[in-house]
């Protein structure tokens, strides 16, 4: 019996471990030929190690699948093009991209350095752009292709100490929507997944207080392999009608996330003065204000 993505060629960035590794393994198990991309850095972006990508590629081959390792960085256009070229060189085409590569450099906002900001934006947001852009013309020419981008509730909802990461992840959702709009006529789809899972990156979450320790124990229940089935599905022809959506996966739960839309409006035919806004507009709108929440406040029940 053919797998759901049988014969497709898919690039998975950040696939040397964690969520990316499980997605790569699941794709291969469903018949895809996989480019396992990972530069092999630490969770903060330091060091380079070719081992993780090659180990996952070897694991896929040992199980009877097809894979090639890539150790190029997603953060620069030239190296991102080499990632896509790796798929063409080894397998002759490219059908899908999973933009999963990422790093963390958490810092409370007023202490964040320019380097901490730039490095996270470059890997996450620029990385998604560079790899997607490298694949886009190939998708256009063959009139097919699918992108899956990893976003985060840190961007969709909010979190402490992650202004760089949150900005990048919310930017990725807008990038995904723009790709979906621009490339719809070429049969190209673009969707996002916001994953809840214990991984090498989330392993850096502080555990200095009992509350932090309890939070980490909950996250540990959510293994990376739970994310992979949705990614495989979104890259398959079975998802042909699924485009420009944002999903979240939390253990055994799959969520369709909302996207910004107008909630409420006020209008005056003669326009507004600042005082009229203070006296009338804001009191009328205030009932629909969104709270200053973070991810854990919204997803506040135990995972199932």
Nearest residue to 94 via CA among 76, 77, 70, 73: 70
Determine which one of 126, 129, 165, 233 is catalytic. 165
126 among known catalytic residues: no
Domain-wise residue ranges, the chain: 9-256
The pairs formed by 253-260 with CB atoms below 8 angstroms and a separation of 24 or more are: 253/303, 253/304, 254/230, 257/156, 257/194, 259/173, 259/177
How confident is the model at residue 296, as a pLDDT? 86
Each residue's pLDDT tens digit, 246-261:
999 999 999 999 999 9
Residue 200 has pLDDT above 60, yes or no: no
How confident is the model at residue 44, as a pLDDT? 52
How confident is the model at residue 235, as a pLDDT? 98
Each residue's pLDDT tens digit, 131-161:
999 999 999 999 999 999 999 999 999 999 9
Do 201 and 103 form a contact (C-beta atoms < 8 A)?
yes
How confident is the model at residue 45, as a pLDDT? 47
CATH 3.30.70.260, applies to 9-256: no
Each residue's pLDDT tens digit, 40-65:
865 554 545 568 999 999 999 999 99
Each residue's pLDDT tens digit, 69-78:
999 999 999 9
253-256 and 246-250: which strand pairing?
antiparallel
Do 75 and 127 form a contact (C-beta atoms < 8 A)?
yes
Could you give the angle at the alpha carbon of 151 between the alpha carbons of 148 and 154, nearest 5°? 170
Do 17 and 38 form a contact (C-beta atoms < 8 A)?
yes
Nearest residue to 137 via CA among 173, 101, 93: 93
User: Which pLDDT band, with edges at 50, 70 and 90, does 202 fall under?
Assistant: low
């Amino acid at each position: 019996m053919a797998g759901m993505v049988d014969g497709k060629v898919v690039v998975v960035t950040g696939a040397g471990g964690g969520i990316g590794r499980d997605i790569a393994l699941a794709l291969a198990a469903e018949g895809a030929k996989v480019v396992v991309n990972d530069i092999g850095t630490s969770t903060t972006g330091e060091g380079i190690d070719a081992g993780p990508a090659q180990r996952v590629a070897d694991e896929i081959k040992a199980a009877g699948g097809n894979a090639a390792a890539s150790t190029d960085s997603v953060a620069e256009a030239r190296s991102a093009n080499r990632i896509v070229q790796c798929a063409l060189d080894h397998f002759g085409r490219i059908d899908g991209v999973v933009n999963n590569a990422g790093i963390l450099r958490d810092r409370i906002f007023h202490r964040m350095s320019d380097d901490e900001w730039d490095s996270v934006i470059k890997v996450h947001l620029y990385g998604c752009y560079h790899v997607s852009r490298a694949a886009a013309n190939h998708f256009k020419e063959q009139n097919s292709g699918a992108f899956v981008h990893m976003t985060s509730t840190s961007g969709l909802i909010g979190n402490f100490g992650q202004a760089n990461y949150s900005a990048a992840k919310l930017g990725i959702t807008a990038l995904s929507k723009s790709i979906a709009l621009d490339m719809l006529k070429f049969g190209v789809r673009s969707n996002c997944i916001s994953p809840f899972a214990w991984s090498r990156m989330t392993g850096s979450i502080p555990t200095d207080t009992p509350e932090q320790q309890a939070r980490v124990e909950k996250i540990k229940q959510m293994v990376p392999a739970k994310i992979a089935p949705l990614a495989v599905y979104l890259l398959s022809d079975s998802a042909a009608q699924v485009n420009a959506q944002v999903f979240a996966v939390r253990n055994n739960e799959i969520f369709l996330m909302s996207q910004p839309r107008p909630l409420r409006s006020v209008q005056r035919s003669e326009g507004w003065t600042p005082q009229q806004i203070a006296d009338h507009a804001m009191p009328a709108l205030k009932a629909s204000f969104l709270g200053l929440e973070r991810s854990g406040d919204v997803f506040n029940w135990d995972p199932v």
